[in-house]
Amino acid sequence: MNLRELEALGEPDLLIAGLRVWIHGSQFPNAVDYWDGNWLRVTAYCGRVLNFV
């Protein structure tokens, strides 16, 4: 993930040290099934300057 892609995501929803997590929403937002309708679509990035995972 390059710097431009990170900037396009905006501010992360969760930030802990070098871990950043963006929550994009549910996979099936209109699902009424309790178990399968709760999957979240996220982007996670863990890194520091010049070091990332």
Residue 50 has pLDDT above 70, yes or no: no
**Which SS3 state, helix, strand or coil, does residue 31 take?**
coil
**Model pLDDT for residues 6-35, shown as the tens digit of each residue:** 889 999 999 998 899 999 998 887 887 777
Q: Which residue has the higher pLDDT, 29 or 41?
A: 41
Token pair 């099936």 in the structure block, residue: 28
Structural domain boundaries in the chain: 3-52
Per-residue buried b or exposed e for 33-48, using 16+ beta carbons within 10 Å of the residue's own CB: eeeeeeeeeeeebeee
